[in-house]
Structure 1
Amino acid sequence: MTTPYPNAVLDDKDLQEKLAAINPKYGPWVTRVAGEVWGLPLLDQKTKALIALTTDVVNQSPLGGSGSAFAAHVHIAMAQGASREEIEELFLFLTVYAGFNKMVGCFAALNDLLDAKS
């Protein structure tokens, strides 16, 4: 497990490179704006990462592929100390509030993402 970053966006150079690869103007802009909100002091980085995953679920962001926001937020959550079990518990919790049908794809995408690393 890696050491959590003080700021999951501004301190993760790999994430910044991936964002810049999407578009050279988009990446640095997202880094600045997201880095600012990730730098706010009251919520810890792990909590923010789990909230970001929640938005992916509710918005049904594209779940597949290593370049998806969902994959990035899973990576960020785990880098900030969240375990697979905590993410799975979050998904169980969200099943009640976001809907059973939405969560099926989220569990499948999580399995694909994390089992591919094994």
Structure 2
Amino acid sequence: MDLIGRVERGGKLLRAMLGPERAERTRQAWREICPDFEAYVIEFLSGEVWSRPGLDLRTKSLVTVATLAAMGRPLGLELNLRMALNNGATRQDLVETLLQIAPYAGFPACWEGLELAQKVFRALDASPRATGDDSPRDDSNAPSPDPAT
């Protein structure tokens, strides 16, 4: 796939995983500090790695959460905890994934990951929507709560 196709695919996937508003804020932060970093993330990470077939987005998210927690990367971990929830992982999936790293990466890595997960869960619980995406949703296609309507 050509560069433009990877950038379009990567941008679309990031918006789907983070929500449009959070994706744009994140990209803007990367652009402000280093435009090349934003380009690498969108073109390669989102446009190539995350777009590969073979594993679904939920599984990719759980692998990424485990890796970032084991490496002690809190900025990436916080972002990917939110993305994992948007990609179909449950809170329990995330807790179990973080617990699984304890014997391999160390109990401190597990503990720090769990603390950060709890911070993300609390922030989501305090927001109007219990999701990683804080952008408005179009619920026009949502089923009506009353079957008669």
Normalised-by-shorter TM-score class: 0.7 to 0.9
Shift in Å at residue 20 of structure 1? 3.1
CA separation of 1:57 and 1:87: change in aligned 2, threshold 3 A: same
Query: Who wins on radius of gyration, i.e. which is larger?
Result: 2
2:108: which partner in 1? 101
Letter in 2 for 1:51: V
1:32: which partner in 2? 43
Matched, 1:86 2:93: yes
What percentage of residue pairs aligned between the two structures are identical? 21
Matches within 5 A, 1:1-118: 10-11=12-13, 12=15, 13=20, 14-24=22-32, 25=35, 26-35=37-46, 36-61=48-73, 63=74, 68-118=75-125
Shift in Å at residue 94 of structure 1? 1.2
Q: Give the conservation status (yes or no) of the 8 Å contact 2:72–2:109.
A: yes
- What is the alpha-carbon distance in structure 1 between the residues aligned to residue 113 and residue 10 of structure 2? 22
Q: Which runs of 5+ in 1 are unaligned?
A: 1-6
Q: Give the conservation status (yes or no) of the 8 Å contact 1:71–1:113.
A: yes
Superposed CA RMSD: 1.9
CA separation of 1:54 and 1:16: change in aligned 2, threshold 3 A: farther
Shift in Å at residue 116 of structure 1? 2.0
CA separation of 1:8 and 1:97: change in aligned 2, threshold 3 A: farther
Q: Which runs of 5+ in 2 are unaligned?
A: 1-8, 126-149
Q: Kindly provide the CA deviation profile for residues 38-58 of structure 1, in whole angstroms up to 9, marking residues without a partner as x.
A: 111011111111111111112
Q: Kindly provide the CA deviation profile for residues 18-49 of structure 1, in whole angstroms up to 9, marking residues without a partner as x.
A: 13322251223311111211111011111111
